[in-house]
Amino acid sequence: MKILMIYPRYPDTFWSFRHALKFVSKKAANPPLGLMTISAMLPKNWNRKLLDLNVEKLRKKEIMRADYVFISAMSAQRSSANEIIQLCNDLKTPIVAGGPLFTEDYEGYHSVDHFLLNEAEEVIDQLVHDLNAGIPKRIYQSEGFPSLQFSPAPDYRILKQKRYGSMSIQYSRGCPFDCEFCNITGLFGHKVRTKSTDQFIKELDHLYASGWRRNVFIVDDNFIGNRKHLKNNLLPVIIKWMEINKYPFDFTTEASINLADDPELMSLMSKAGFSNVFIGIESPDENSLTECNKKQNKNRELIESVNKIQGAGLEVSAGFIVGFDSDQPGIFQRQIEFIQESGIISAMVGLLNAPKKTRLYQRLKIEGRLLYEMSGDNTDTTLNFIPKMNKLELLSGYQNILKGIYSAKPYYARVGDFLKRFEPRNNIGLKLRFVDIVALFRSMVHIGIFDSDRKYYWSLFFWSLFRKPKVFSKAITYSIYGYHFRKIFTDSI
């Protein structure tokens, strides 16, 4: 059986880091972990090939050679996925589709031959059997939420590693919280299911053996969902593994703000090689947090919590949202002031949208405010519902936030303030490797010479080089990030 696995292209957004990746000669930030995991579940005698359209082009001859095309996609990849489906239909190659996009909206894809919905572990064997027998059904759908104890390590053999800025690995699925706008619990449930410590360490061994030595993104939607197991089992073992293997990886992940309440956990994560956590902050407004059921963020000093996490040596990147029913016109300036004061460099601000598998979607449907399916990109200035605030005022305010945090002057001021007070607790990710030296020289040309805001670049460059050389590599990294953010912001205008 010849299987062609295709991963659709993401749109060019703040999240893509596409302009930043050019400085390190990479095409995409992260690989398609879902398809890599599916590949590991397929029979060893099946021929499989991966085409990630974020790093390479799709050619018709590849589709024509395949017995089946497997597609996995997020909602943000909808446009590219539609193009792939149309091309496969034209070439008469049958499709097996899975992932969040199709799990949420498979009824809208009449031209897809077969669906693998929800999580694959419990139904992949039946799909394989039926494909071999030539009698595949249209829908294969798991019931409930399967254990991860038998989920295999990703198949890195099908991946062109050198084209990615980071590798991905998964420890858990599910989230104990229930934010109204989030589809994670709808897709993966409230109960946090984890791989065993031995299982996770074997995956680290597998990744290490593949030759990778750099950033590793643990893709869990809330890595600290089971804090007891992390502190008593996983993190101590990772610390020993990293020591034995001379710290080959620099971990990043996603977590909830209550990480700030657990000094022991933050310390263990830093010792284990974690350097960055993404936090869903959403809003500094208590009414908006109440509206979206962001209980973990309420009744706390959010900036103080961010400071605690960063004080533990973990950089914080974060998500923010505007467009809640509770938002008042002053929310836009409040968001700017919060982001600037918190020192959150990568502040991903988006417009509220309603994915299908969310309580927000159901509420707006009942209220008659839904317009169409969301694009999946909450930064493209589209809304799939009628907001309470005047739409033009909301869009104008959103643009003002982006200008207020990503224009060169406020952005470099935020970077400088953060680096002055930030003290890394480990040396992972601080040393300049060859790829970093290449990025340094490219930044000196593209930003230091040709960028109209180059004076801010050189000010940060020399300050960090002579006043705090320990964070010089981070200063260059953040300068490159800023270049990307400004390009996206300028294009959006």
Q: Which helix (H) or strand (E) holds 450?
A: none
Please state, as a whole number, how many other Cβ atoms lie within 10 Å of the Cβ of residue 86: 11
Mean pLDDT of 244-269: 97
Query: Does residue 186 belong to any structural domain of this protein?
Result: yes
Domain residues for the domain of 24 are: 2-141
Query: Does residue 258 belong to any structural domain of this protein?
Result: yes
pLDDT band (50, 70, 90) for residue 377: confident
pTM assigned to the model: 0.95
Could you tell me if 188 and 275 lie in one domain?
Answer: yes
Q: Tell me, what's the pLDDT at 205?
A: 97
Query: Does residue 176 belong to any structural domain of this protein?
Result: yes
Single-letter residue type at 323:
G
Task: Name the phi and psi angles at 110, rounded to 5.
Answer: -70, -20
Could you tell me if 127 and 227 lie in one domain?
Answer: no
Could you tell me if 411 and 475 lie in one domain?
Answer: no
Q: In this structure, are residues 8 and 80 in contact, taking their beta carbons and an 8 Å threshold?
A: yes
pLDDT band (50, 70, 90) for residue 493: low
Q: Tell me, what's the pLDDT at 144?
A: 87
Could you tell me if 384 and 468 lie in one domain?
Answer: no
Q: Tell me, what's the pLDDT at 432?
A: 72
Could you tell me if 385 and 313 lie in one domain?
Answer: yes
Could you tell me if 389 and 451 lie in one domain?
Answer: no
Task: Name the phi and psi angles at 252, rounded to 5.
Answer: -130, 155
Query: Does residue 147 belong to any structural domain of this protein?
Result: no
CATH of the domain at 205: 3.20.20.70
Residues 6 or more apart whose CB falls under 8 angstroms from that of 486 comprise 406, 407, 408, 411, 453
pLDDT band (50, 70, 90) for residue 429: low
Of 421, 452, 477, which one is at a domain's C-terminal end?
A: 421
Residues 6 or more apart whose CB falls under 8 angstroms from that of 422 comprise 310, 315, 343, 471, 474
- pLDDT (tens digit per residue) in 290-343: 999 999 999 999 999 999 999 999 999 999 999 999 999 999 999 999 999 999
Could you tell me if 301 and 210 lie in one domain?
Answer: yes
In this prediction, what percent of the chain has a pLDDT beyond 70?
Answer: 99
DSSP single-letter state for residue 68: E
Residues 6 or more apart whose CB falls under 8 angstroms from that of 175 comprise 182, 184, 185, 188, 190, 192, 221, 222, 225, 256
Query: Does residue 158 belong to any structural domain of this protein?
Result: no
Mean pLDDT of 453-462: 98
Of 398, 421, 444, which one is at a domain's C-terminal end?
A: 421
In whole numbers, what is the pLDDT of the chain averaged over residues? 95
- pLDDT (tens digit per residue) in 146-156: 999 989 999 99
The span from the CA of 338 to the CA of 61, in Å, is 51
The span from the CA of 350 to the CA of 373, in Å, is 17
The span from the CA of 456 to the CA of 460, in Å, is 6
Query: Does residue 427 belong to any structural domain of this protein?
Result: no
Distances 421 to 76, 168, 273, 275, 313 between C-alpha atoms, Å? 36, 30, 20, 15, 10
Single-letter residue type at 53:
L
Domains contained in the chain, number: 3
Enter the tokens of residue 195. 């791989």
Q: Tell me, what's the pLDDT at 247?
A: 94
Could you tell me if 32 and 119 lie in one domain?
Answer: yes
Length of the chain: 493
Q: What DSSP string describes 119-140?
A: -STTTHHHHHHHHHHT---SEE
Could you tell me if 177 and 210 lie in one domain?
Answer: yes
- pLDDT (tens digit per residue) in 61-90: 999 999 999 999 999 999 999 999 999 999
Query: Does residue 146 belong to any structural domain of this protein?
Result: no
Q: In this structure, are residues 78 and 33 in contact, taking their beta carbons and an 8 Å threshold?
A: no
Q: Which residues pair with 254 in a beta bridge?
A: 278
Strand ranges, E, within 189-283? 193-194, 215-218, 250-255, 274-282
Could you tell me if 259 and 374 lie in one domain?
Answer: yes
Owner of token pair 């858990």:
172
Distances 444 to 263, 366, 438, 461, 476 between C-alpha atoms, Å? 39, 54, 10, 9, 9
Q: Tell me, what's the pLDDT at 374?
A: 85
Query: Does residue 330 belong to any structural domain of this protein?
Result: yes
Could you tell me if 220 and 130 lie in one domain?
Answer: no
Enter the tokens of residue 63. 């589709």
Q: Tell me, what's the pLDDT at 151?
A: 95
Q: Torsion over CA of 173, 178, 179 and 180, rounded to 10 degrees?
A: 120
Q: Tell me, what's the pLDDT at 489?
A: 87
Task: Name the phi and psi angles at 250, rounded to 5.
Answer: -125, 110
- pLDDT (tens digit per residue) in 154-183: 999 999 999 999 999 999 999 999 999 999
Q: Tell me, what's the pLDDT at 431?
A: 66
- pLDDT (tens digit per residue) in 98-135: 999 999 999 999 999 999 999 999 999 999 999 999 99
Q: What DSSP string describes 138-195?
A: SEEE--S---STTPPPP-GGG--GGGBS-EEE--EE--S---TT--HHHHH-SS-EE-
- pLDDT (tens digit per residue) in 200-230: 999 999 999 999 999 999 999 999 999 999 9
Half-sphere exposure of 476 (CA within 13 A, CB side): 25
CATH of the domain at 23: 3.40.50.280
Could you tell me if 111 and 241 lie in one domain?
Answer: no
Q: Which helix (H) or strand (E) holds 3?
A: strand 2-7
